[in-house]
Amino acid sequence: MRKFKTVSVAFALFATMSAFAIEGKKGTKENNLSGQIYEMLKENQFNADYKEMTAEVRFIVSEKGELVVLSVETKDEILEGFVKTRLNYQKVELDNVAPGRVYKLPVRITA
């Protein structure tokens, strides 16, 4: 009887550990919208004078899967132009994006 209890406890622990070991599908940066925008904005040539710049970008995704920038709210005109140039009419590849829906995305560029 004692051996049966030991085996059943060991089996229960094994079953529990294997259930936690199963990995779900993790979202990568390339699979979500903000990750794709990050990739578009990461290569920049800002001076060391700009320690940190922030903006809030409002955009929609067209029927063709292109970003259309509606506005960039920031104090820095250079950042506004940079974001508009890099994002406007760039194609994104996603299945779960609703065309025509307005999205807001905070952007922070650091030196």
Name the average pLDDT for the chain. Answer: 79
The string of pLDDT tens digits covering residues 55-100 is: 999 999 999 999 999 999 999 898 899 999 999 999 998 777 888 9
The domain containing residue 37 runs over which residues? 27-110
> Is 20 inside any structural domain?
no
The number of domains in the chain is 1
Question: Side chain identity at 47, as an amino acid letter?
Answer: N
The yes-or-no verdict on residue 37 having pLDDT over 80 is: yes
Q: How many CB atoms lie within 10 A of CB 74?
A: 18
SS3 (DSSP) at 1: coil
Q: Where are the alpha helices (DSSP H) in the chain?
A: 2-21, 33-41, 77-87
**pLDDT score recorded for residue 10:** 53
Q: CA angle, 20 as apex, 19 and 25 as ends, to 5°? A: 100
> Is 46 inside any structural domain?
yes
**pLDDT score recorded for residue 6:** 59
Phi-psi group of 109: left, alpha or beta (phi > 0 → left; psi -120 to 50 → alpha; rest → beta): beta
> Is 41 inside any structural domain?
yes
> Is 8 inside any structural domain?
no
